[in-house]
Amino acid sequence: MTAETETPATGSCCSPAGGCHDGGAADVQVGTVTTVYRVAGMTCGHCEGAVSAEISEIAGVGSVKAVAATGEVTVISAAPLDEEAVRAAVDEAGYELVGRA
């Protein structure tokens, strides 16, 4: 599994022309980059919210999903993000960016 994947601007995981999901997999936004980061120090929902809010402020970020139990933060963005910008956002929230998962 790679930490960063690019989704083509056309089609979906269902078919080249697009289609619907059966609910078994998370929806993937078209024309996006998904990156999973490791963040140290998150222990609860408040932590997840703080990290998500700060990363969401980075230009080009479409969505953020932080999971304290695993320390993973999944970011969907329009283009690859500058890791230093992500590091600064996580730092601002009071946590430590360990790197990509």
User: Per-residue pLDDT tens for 7-66?
Assistant: 444 443 443 444 444 444 455 556 899 999 999 999 999 999 999 999 999 999 999 999
45 token code pair: 């929902």
pLDDT of residue 31: 82
Is the CB of residue 90 less than 8 Å from the CB of residue 96? yes
Q: How many residues are given for the chain?
A: 101
Identity at 52, one-letter amino acid code? S
| Structural fold of domain 4-9+30-100 | Alpha-Beta Plaits (3.30.70)
Domain chopping of the chain, boundaries: 4-9+30-100
Residue 21 neighbours by CB under 8 Å, 6+ apart: 12, 13, 14, 27
Tell me the helices (H) and strands (E) count for the chain, helix number first.
2, 5
pLDDT of residue 101: 94
pLDDT of residue 4: 54
5 token code pair: 């994947």
* Bigger pLDDT: 11 vs 4: 4
pLDDT of residue 27: 52
CB count within 10 Å of CB 83 equals 13
Is the CB of residue 51 less than 8 Å from the CB of residue 92? no
In this predicted structure, the answer to whether residue 76 has a pLDDT above a threshold of 80 is yes
In this predicted structure, the answer to whether residue 82 has a pLDDT above a threshold of 70 is yes
